[in-house]
Amino acid sequence: MNSSSKYAIIKFNSETKLIEEDTIIVEYTLNLFLNGNEFISFLCTPDALESMVVGFLFSEGIIHTTKDIADIRVDMSKGEASVKTKNNDQYYIEGDKFFGKRAISTACGNQKTICYPILDFLGRKSDRLEKKIDIYPDKVLQLVNLFNKKSGLFIETGGVHSCALGNQNEILLFREDIGRHNALDKILGEALVNEMLLEDKIIITSGRITEEMVKKVVKAKIPILISRSAPTDKAIDMARRFHLTLIGFARGNRMNVYANNECFI
């Protein structure tokens, strides 16, 4: 399935009016079934779907490595992904939070359940990031420059966010998606499947940085997060708490460092 398609549209400017074919970003729905139950729907760009699912399950704390997955299938024509985890736990959503329901058989044949919120890693001091990478301002700006040059779908359609995994010198993985979170999940999933070391890597994103984006990067133990756009207050607070280096508005020869700036002072 293509990530973009062609539509006839009218292009106006102050002097001309043209009917032209334009390239439009495809919006695709993928329903994820987790251990047999419908769990969540992704509105996404239809590529790297398996990576996206793996990255999402990892970010949400449902799996810790790819070894926790017993089976994963993606049926693109049906818009369905199906994952079985080895522990076969049941998960559900309450409000916007995910809970895990661990099935415990009892003698009478019924099941009792215990529930725990999945994103429970926060607040433990041991989760503070250790920076296993040195980086300098000019390297950050060079990296963002490389990142900007990669964006094919954005140039074609103007309708996507980009995300990349890099080191000081180069972009290693690059993905685009209509959703900021999906693009990051695709990158994390790909890195996980390839068993890449993450503690000396950098995430670069085109999109705004919310607390949720910081959580995903901290969870993956990646020490530096760079964005072309703005962070929110909660994103900065969480980055400072977990010693994540948070850089925003990295454009041309400028950038702002919002958290964990020791390496730049």
Task: Please give the positions annotated as active site.
Answer: 108
Binding status of residue 31 toward a second copy by CB under 8 A? yes
What is the side-by-side order of every strand in the sheet holding 161-166? 171-177, 161-166, 202-205, 224-227, 245-251
Q: Per CB under 8 A, does 77 bind a second copy?
A: no
- Quote the tokens at residue 260: 């964990």
CB of 65 to a second copy, least distance (A): 26
* Residue 229 near a second copy by CB under 8 A: yes
Nearest approach, Cβ of 126 to a second copy (angstroms)?
A: 26
* Cα 153 from chain centroid (whole Å): 17
* Minimum distance, C-beta of residue 176 to a second copy, in the bound complex (Å): 13
Q: At what angle do helices 211-219 and 49-59 cross, to 10 degrees?
A: 90
**Spatial contact of 233 and 118, defined as CB atoms under 8 Å apart:** no
Q: Is 189 exposed, middle or buried (0-12, 13-18, 19+ CB in 10 A)?
A: buried
Binding flag, residue 244, a second copy (CB under 8 A):
no
Under the binding rule (CB under 8 A), the answer on residue 122 touching a second copy is no
* Residue 114 bridge partners (DSSP): 102
Which segment (14-22, 58-66, 111-119, 162-170) binds a second copy by CB under 8 A?
A: 14-22
Of the candidates 132, 165, 124, the residue with the CA atom closest to the CA atom of residue 147: 165
Query: Is there binding between residue 205 and a second copy (CB under 8 A)?
Result: no
Contacting residues toward a second copy, per CB under 8 A: 4-5, 7, 9-14, 17, 22, 24-27, 31, 38-41, 43, 93-97, 137, 141, 157-159, 178, 208, 210-212, 229-236, 249, 253-258, 261, 264-265
